[in-house]
Chains A and B, each alone.
Chain A
Amino acid sequence: MLRRALQPGLSRGVLGRGLGTHRGRSTLGKVEGSGGYRGSWVAPVSSYVTFRTRDPTHDGKTVGRLGEGDQNGKVSEIKKKIQSVLPRGAWNPLRDTSYLPPEHSDVVIVGGGVIGLSVAYWLKRLEKPQGAIRVLVVERDHTYSQASTALSVGGIRQQFSVPENIQLSLFSVEFLRNINEYLAVVDDPPLDIQFNPSGYLLLASEKGAAVMESNVKVQRQEGAKVCLMSPEQLRNKFPWINTEGVALASYGMEHEGWFDPWCLLQGLRRKVQSMGVLFCHGEVTRFVSSSSHTETTSGEEVTLRRIHEVHVKMDRSLEYQPVECALVINAAGAWSGQIAELAGVGKGPPGTLQGTQLPVELRKRYVYLWHCPQGPGLETPFVIDASGAYFRREGLGNNYLGGCSPTEEEEPDPGNLEVDHDFFQDKVWPPLAQRVPAFETLKVRSAWAGYYDYNTFDQNGVVGPHPLVVNMYFATGFSGHGLQQAPAVGRAVAEMVLDGHFRTINLSPFLFNRFYLGEKVQEHNII
């Protein structure tokens, strides 16, 4: 049943919806900010406008935009309005529509996980003046049953190889440390994210030792507190480790550990609601956009698209609401690739900028919880073995969480979140038992699976606007370290939206252009 937005329609009168659209478009012009396009923003010819199949009574908008055939269009519009008001019509003013998203929103954030909420928080915090921007967060699953945030192991570290990643992580740690100042809401209890400051321990074999040394150098330069340890020092410090095959280890002393991601998510949600961000329980099914052809400085023809409306379909219903928006932020996590396709990213001949798709796809990862009564003690850091297997302590009861990333050939089918227990037996347990002999006797208590929003290009995030779909911004593709960079990424995207450039941390290496230009920002320390 298509919904008819009638109250605004009735009050339009002289101004008409058409003028509202123009006003909307001029705001779009202001937000865009970046010049250099020689294309014109005159209403495009009808063949490029995607017609929506809505109530015919709402054709007023399209008519206003086309600017021709006004007389006939207006008369038929008025006739249809009168018909709907009469008893058999579609007008039902007393129906409750509070579950629907608003008709207009300045920013629509697709995805309500930690990244999306972080972007919403920083947009609201950095906007000038306060209350200037209306932000809508669209999340299709309010239980977060498949969201990567809720299923994450929750670690945070600065031991990356790319300096931008280290800076993002450092700021996020500072955010988490002062979380009760950033996310304080009146009359609500302070957040306890249960941070374990136990640090990360990365082990390297002979082959990886040189890379690890150079990584640690970069990390120290950025301000991370990491130290290198030889196998002997490792044995002195952690007697439960078997250092056979380990040439070098890097140990994070401070600002590293793990925390409760659900608490962060709920804290952000609560705070963001109190700041006036609107939430919508629905799914984005369509983008209505317009295109215009323009020439680049080198004379090539490109098609620029601008998203005008986001169609949000309600949960378990066919009803949808078109939300007119100025910007769309793609923070849909593992499903960002699908959202990008809907927006027209990658529709073109391969090898061109238009044909470059967003290389983010779902990858399933398993996490196992086991109990080992003689296992490593309270001081256990988050250990990442050279083979890629990792584990950490969980609580006081000698329980451990761990897993391993499968190789490319063994990637499980991401269609569902079923856990493969044989994977633990074959791929996770042997390297861990070899590294920690106490793990020879353990008992798996439970396991779960979650998705990585895996960036197949270089396993680093994509942040910033798309060069062709000019009002879609990305904040996705973090391949397993999105949670620990979420506060900083949110701030970076908000700065990009509000100021047009990155202010605090320069994330220009993470822009979308690199997929077309082929400039990989390869992150080596991915688990």
Chain B
Amino acid sequence: MAAPRAPLHLVTPVWNRGTRGTRGLSRAVAPEGSQKKGRSLLQFLADRFYDVQALREYLLRKQVLKVHQKNRPFTYIRERFGPHAAGAYFILKQGGAVKFQGKEWIRSDARGHFSLDFLKFQAVPVEAVDASGCAINYQGLDSVCEWAETAGLFICPSVVGSRKDHSASPPPPTVALKELQSLWLQRCPHVDDWCLGRLHPLANSLQELSLAGCPRISERGLASLHHLQNLRRLDISDLPAVSNPGLTRILVEEMLPSCQVLGADWAQGLPSGPEEQSRDTASPLPA
């Protein structure tokens, strides 16, 4: 069997050639039907010629590399100005907004420019991050979670201060970290279940988390939010990859009892109550 040999693939495929950019890449669950509909001349040629296929792959690989480039760590800024400034710079570069403790929101304007005044804030913690719509992924979230981690140490969220620590890492800080309090990741196309597993270092401080509209998050990732015991507001509405939104919301509410969960309606998908009852009373009971 001579399978068509293709060069190295390092790309996430897109269904339709028409959807460029991150929108195309964010289709985590692509329907079967679109394969037939989206056949274009380029796809037709790519099936038959290695050169065209290589060209397509090159273009797609560029898109993936663009996302990687956006999520690169800014090590120089981190060394020079500290982790808070580096994280803030990262978020602002992506097009998000940052709020330092006691200061106003810093946003980038329509052209992507923002003031660099925050670099002067020494060790002022970041209180809120609005990364809605940004192309942040697992690697980029490292910059955010570094704010709650010192080098090599992570925090076991159920314990602060008293813990059986038998490893070579330094002792945990005795003061609870009151840093990042709200994180908004609405409509981020690359935030997936793995990223939610990465949020556990923020457990001591995070009070508000919004994941509305992220196409790659499913109920499996939501299960890892139970680390965030200080969470008071959680928004999990409009998650297309969650299979059963009503049931998921119930389970998440059970998991985080002191948190207000904004999500799908519990009765979503169920037959409506009063209609059923009227139908029952209408039919005569058998004697």
Interchain CB contact (< 8 A) of B254 among A216, A273, A277, A377: A377
Known A-B contacts A233-B159, A254-B198; the reply to A278 vs B10 at CB < 8 A is no
Near B by CB (< 8 A), chain A positions 181-226 give: 181-190, 192, 194-199, 213-214, 216-217, 220-221, 225
B56 lies within 8 A of chain A by Cβ:
yes
Known A-B contacts A186-B13, A187-B43, A217-B168; the reply to A192 vs B29 at CB < 8 A is yes
B77 lies within 8 A of chain A by Cβ:
no
A276 lies within 8 A of chain B by Cβ:
yes
**What is the distance, in angstroms, from B104's C-beta to the closest C-beta of chain A?**
34
Q: Kindly list chain A residues whose C-beta atoms are within 8 Å of the C-beta of B254.
A: 377-378
**What is the distance, in angstroms, from A239's C-beta to the closest C-beta of chain B?**
10
Known A-B contacts A181-B11, A190-B30, A237-B158; the reply to A378 vs B251 at CB < 8 A is yes
Q: Kindly list chain A residues whose C-beta atoms are within 8 Å of the C-beta of B198.
A: 254
B154 lies within 8 A of chain A by Cβ:
yes
Interchain CB contact (< 8 A) of A220 among B159, B169, B219: B169
Q: Kindly list chain A residues whose C-beta atoms are within 8 Å of the C-beta of B243.
A: 396
Binds A, one of B80-88, B206-214, B220-228: B220-228
By the criterion CB–CB under 8 Å, are B219 and A396 in contact?
Answer: yes
CA A273 – CA B1 in complex, angstroms? Answer: 10
By the criterion CB–CB under 8 Å, are B3 and A274 in contact?
Answer: yes
Known A-B contacts A197-B220, A253-B227, A396-B247; the reply to A186 vs B9 at CB < 8 A is yes
Q: Kindly list chain A residues whose C-beta atoms are within 8 Å of the C-beta of B23.
A: none
- For A, the interface residue count at a CB cutoff of 8 angstroms equals 56
Q: Kindly list chain A residues whose C-beta atoms are within 8 Å of the C-beta of B223.
A: 196-198, 378-380
Q: Kindly list chain B residues whose C-beta atoms are within 8 Å of the C-beta of A216.
A: 166-167
Known A-B contacts A378-B251, A378-B252, A396-B251; the reply to A253 vs B154 at CB < 8 A is yes
CA A176 – CA B120 in complex, angstroms? Answer: 40
Q: Kindly list chain B residues whose C-beta atoms are within 8 Å of the C-beta of A298.
A: none
B119 lies within 8 A of chain A by Cβ:
no
Q: Kindly list chain B residues whose C-beta atoms are within 8 Å of the C-beta of A378.
A: 219, 222-223, 226, 251-252, 254-255
Near B by CB (< 8 A), chain A positions 228-282 give: 228-230, 233, 236-237, 248, 251, 253-255, 257, 271, 273-279
**What is the distance, in angstroms, from A312's C-beta to the closest C-beta of chain B?**
14
By the criterion CB–CB under 8 Å, are B28 and A192 in contact?
Answer: yes
By the criterion CB–CB under 8 Å, are A184 and B9 in contact?
Answer: yes
Known A-B contacts A189-B15, A194-B220, A197-B193; the reply to A213 vs B138 at CB < 8 A is no
> Which partner residue on chain B sits nearest A177 by CB separation?
B194
> Which partner residue on chain B sits nearest A233 by CB separation?
B158
CA A228 – CA B163 in complex, angstroms? Answer: 8
**What is the distance, in angstroms, from B14's C-beta to the closest C-beta of chain A?**
9
By the criterion CB–CB under 8 Å, are B255 and A274 in contact?
Answer: no
Known A-B contacts A190-B13, A237-B158; the reply to A228 vs B6 at CB < 8 A is no
> Which partner residue on chain A sits nearest B10 by CB separation?
A181
A227 lies within 8 A of chain B by Cβ:
yes
By the criterion CB–CB under 8 Å, are B169 and A396 in contact?
Answer: no
B35 lies within 8 A of chain A by Cβ:
yes
A524 lies within 8 A of chain B by Cβ:
no
A180 lies within 8 A of chain B by Cβ:
yes
Q: Kindly list chain A residues whose C-beta atoms are within 8 Å of the C-beta of B64.
A: 181
B53 lies within 8 A of chain A by Cβ:
yes
By the criterion CB–CB under 8 Å, are A186 and B3 in contact?
Answer: no
CA A183 – CA B12 in complex, angstroms? Answer: 9
Interchain CB contact (< 8 A) of A227 among B29, B156, B226: B156
Q: Kindly list chain B residues whose C-beta atoms are within 8 Å of the C-beta of A229.
A: 156, 158-159
CA A346 – CA B193 in complex, angstroms? Answer: 47
By the criterion CB–CB under 8 Å, are A276 and B164 in contact?
Answer: no
By the criterion CB–CB under 8 Å, are B164 and A195 in contact?
Answer: no
By the criterion CB–CB under 8 Å, are A254 and B164 in contact?
Answer: no
A131 lies within 8 A of chain B by Cβ:
yes
Interchain CB contact (< 8 A) of A197 among B30, B197, B252, B255: B197
By the criterion CB–CB under 8 Å, are A276 and B224 in contact?
Answer: no
B4 lies within 8 A of chain A by Cβ:
yes
**What is the distance, in angstroms, from B5's C-beta to the closest C-beta of chain A?**
4
Known A-B contacts A192-B29, A196-B223, A253-B227; the reply to A274 vs B9 at CB < 8 A is yes
CA A262 – CA B53 in complex, angstroms? Answer: 28
By the criterion CB–CB under 8 Å, are A274 and B12 in contact?
Answer: no
Known A-B contacts A220-B168, A278-B3; the reply to A271 vs B9 at CB < 8 A is yes
A40 lies within 8 A of chain B by Cβ:
no
B187 lies within 8 A of chain A by Cβ:
no
Q: Kindly list chain A residues whose C-beta atoms are within 8 Å of the C-beta of B15.
A: 189
Interchain CB contact (< 8 A) of B11 among A184, A225, A227, A257: A184
CA A279 – CA B7 in complex, angstroms? Answer: 19
> Which partner residue on chain B sits nearest A276 by CB separation?
B5
By the criterion CB–CB under 8 Å, are A189 and B166 in contact?
Answer: no
Q: Kindly list chain A residues whose C-beta atoms are within 8 Å of the C-beta of B71.
A: none
**What is the distance, in angstroms, from B268's C-beta to the closest C-beta of chain A?**
14
Q: Kindly list chain B residues whose C-beta atoms are within 8 Å of the C-beta of A225.
A: 154
Q: Kindly list chain B residues whose C-beta atoms are within 8 Å of the C-beta of A275.
A: 3, 5-6
Known A-B contacts A197-B224, A253-B154, A378-B254; the reply to A130 vs B7 at CB < 8 A is yes
By the criterion CB–CB under 8 Å, are A276 and B3 in contact?
Answer: yes
Q: Kindly list chain B residues whose C-beta atoms are within 8 Å of the C-beta of A194.
A: 218, 220
By the criterion CB–CB under 8 Å, are B169 and A186 in contact?
Answer: no
CA A275 – CA B226 in complex, angstroms? Answer: 41
**What is the distance, in angstroms, from B198's C-beta to the closest C-beta of chain A?**
7
CA A278 – CA B2 in complex, angstroms? Answer: 7
CA A77 – CA B64 in complex, angstroms? Answer: 59
**What is the distance, in angstroms, from B135's C-beta to the closest C-beta of chain A?**
15
**What is the distance, in angstroms, from A272's C-beta to the closest C-beta of chain B?**
9
CA A500 – CA B265 in complex, angstroms? Answer: 59
Q: Kindly list chain B residues whose C-beta atoms are within 8 Å of the C-beta of A279.
A: 1
A357-396 near B? 1/0 per residue, CB < 8 Å? 0000000000000000000011110000000000000001
B157-180 near A? 1/0 per residue, CB < 8 Å? 011000111111100000000000
A125 lies within 8 A of chain B by Cβ:
yes
CA A190 – CA B13 in complex, angstroms? Answer: 7
A98 lies within 8 A of chain B by Cβ:
yes
Near A by CB (< 8 A), chain B positions 33-78 give: 35, 43, 46-47, 53, 56-57, 64
**What is the distance, in angstroms, from B225's C-beta to the closest C-beta of chain A?**
8
**What is the distance, in angstroms, from B266's C-beta to the closest C-beta of chain A?**
14
CA A254 – CA B200 in complex, angstroms? Answer: 8
Question: What 12 additional pairs, Cβ within 8 angstroms, besides A195-B220, A230-B164, A275-B5?
Answer: A177-B138, A180-B12, A186-B6, A186-B9, A187-B46, A189-B13, A196-B220, A229-B156, A248-B164, A254-B198, A257-B220, A271-B9
The 6 closest A-B pairs by CB, nearest first: A197-B197, A379-B226, A227-B156, A276-B5, A196-B220, A220-B167
Chain B residues packing against A (C-beta within 8 Å)? 1, 3-13, 15, 27-30, 32, 35, 43, 46-47, 53, 56-57, 64, 138, 154, 156, 158-159, 163-169, 193-194, 196-198, 200, 218-224, 226-227, 243-244, 247-248, 251-252, 254-255
20 A-B residue pairs with CB within 8 Å: A131-B5, A185-B6, A185-B9, A186-B6, A186-B53, A186-B57, A189-B15, A189-B32, A196-B223, A225-B154, A227-B159, A228-B156, A228-B165, A229-B159, A254-B200, A275-B5, A276-B3, A277-B3, A278-B3, A396-B248
